[in-house]
Amino acid sequence: MSRSSKMYKQACKVMPGGVSSPVRAFQSVGREPLFISSGKGAYIEDADGRRYIDYVMSWGPLILGHAREEVVSAVTKAVSRGLSFGAPTGAETELAEEIAAATGAEMVRFVNSGTEACMSAVRLARGYTGRDKIVKFEGCYHGHSDGLLVKAGSGCLTGGLPDSAGVPAAYAGETLVARYNDADSVRALFAANAGKIACVIVEPVAANMGVIPPAEGFLEALRAICDREGALLVFDEVITGFRVAYGGAAALYPGTPDLFAFGKILGRGMPLAAYAGRREIMRFVAPVGKVYQAGTLSGNPAATAAGLATLRILREGKDALDPALDRAGEKLAAAYRAAGVSVNRVGSLLTPFFAKNAPSCYEEVKKCDLALFSRYFSRMLEAGIYVAPSQFEGMFVSAAHSEEDIAKTCKAAANACEGLAEMIQ
């Protein structure tokens, strides 16, 4: 029995499913999870000493790779001065200034997770507009707060649970669900709920039902609808922020949002996230305004140091780094296409889909062949390539992936997909 298997059995005795987050359990690919002992650059090593090229990258935060020296040094220095003070630090202001300069947001509030960021942005939208209902999209995941677990993606979709037990029906009823890339479905909801909708929250590039880019004109249409109806537009850039471009998806596509939610890369793998937006809206947040939100560990020095070091590296190197990540992503996408597998890609974020055509919405994603994906996943793992154990997640390319790593992955993908593409219905 492998060490990972022993560790998994031990974990299952004291943790639900043996994991701290559902997708990690590998249930959708019919395997036991790997237990990871270390990571460096583009590689991770499991508890049994097996080494893999990593495209999970902690589910997105590690755009610079594992254990980047400048980031480790910044965190070490911060930790040596104290883990948490429950008081303001200068580093928070510096990081907020970096976010504002990159994205155009005027004010920032730090929290600890993407779930908190989205939940707080929605509460702020309700407080600002005085309305209760919100619009989200099928297959988009905005964290596990009650009102946003309706027709959710990511782990909910992976586990076959688009909704969650424990969410009151009355609360879920305030969440209206539209179809991603279908502006008419949004217009219909506003028509049926005139004057009641506080905001539309959307992943500008959907990345929690696999990667799905916005259709031409979709985000602009959302902006126009919100302007006409007096609602706010919220971009959930927890995954896309600082990845698809240094300024996030808002820098790539028209349809500027009123509020953002950031996470993942912002904390570089440490618990740090933020919501941000226009000054007039953010001033509704306590202690200035009446929308209450607080957090003992929000903006803690260690996480803030990691985020600040990461964003500075990305900003200083963006002219070379963004195109390099884009090229690496396209090489991988081309390898999958050559193997007969559909692909969606935006920059360094991509998903191969075991479906006839690359999907553009939740309904099309559900047609993917999960059994074929499971076989592909196992073949990749055996070849030393670690991809997400779910059809409904993305591959994350990092600055640490070398040309040799990409070439090896392309070859492994071709072999892993051999004979499977022909079986796609």
Query: Residue 49 has what pLDDT?
Result: 97
Determine how many CB atoms are found less than 10 A away from the CB of residue 166.
Answer: 6
241 and 174 assigned to the same domain:
yes
Residue 389's CATH number: 3.90.1150.10
**Per the residue annotation, which of 55, 141, 336, 362 is the catalytic one?**
141
Of 266, 261, 279, 259, nearest in space to 198 by CA = 259
Respond yes or no on whether the N-terminal peptide bond of residue 323 is cis (omega within 30° of 0). no
Total domain count for the chain?
A: 2
In this structure, are 229 and 279 located in the same domain? yes
Task: Please identify, among 287, 311, 335, the residue that sits at the C-terminal boundary of a domain.
Answer: 311
Residues in the chain, overall count:
425
Q: 157 falls in which pLDDT band (50, 70, 90)?
A: very low
pLDDT grade, residue 164 (50/70/90)? Answer: low
Residue 150's pLDDT band (cuts 50, 70, 90) = low
Per-residue pLDDT tens over the stretch 28-41: 898 999 999 999 99
Angle in degrees, CA 362, 56, 150, rounded to 5: 30
Nearest to 183 by CA among 151, 212, 237, 226: 226
Supply the CATH number for residue 185's domain.
3.40.640.10
Confidence at residue 152, expressed as pLDDT on a 0 to 100 scale: 53
Distance of alpha carbon 230 from alpha carbon 199, whole angstroms: 9
Domain end: 311, 334, 352, which one? 311
Backbone angles phi, psi at 14, to 5 degrees: -125, -5
pLDDT over threshold 50, residue 156? no
Active site residue 362: no
Per residue in 168-227, pLDDT tens?
A: 777 778 899 999 999 999 999 999 999 999 999 999 999 999 999 999 999 999 999 999
**Is 236 labeled as catalytic in the residue annotation?**
yes
Catalytic residue among 264, 369, 376, 405: 264
Alpha carbon distance 281, 112 (integer Å) = 21
Please state, in angstroms and rounded to a whole number, the distance separating the CA atoms of residues 347 and 327. 8
* Active-site residue, from 46, 54, 236, 258: 236
Whether 28 contacts 159, CB under 8 Å: yes
Task: Judge whether 108 and 274 are in contact, CB under 8 Å.
Answer: yes
* Residue at a domain's end among 247, 280, 311: 311
Same domain, 26 and 127: no
Q: ∠ at Cα 292 (303, 201), nearest 5°?
A: 75
Is 141 among the residues known to form the active site?
yes
The C-alpha atoms of residue 256 and residue 258 are separated, in whole angstroms, by 7
11 lies in which domain range?
A: 3-67+317-423
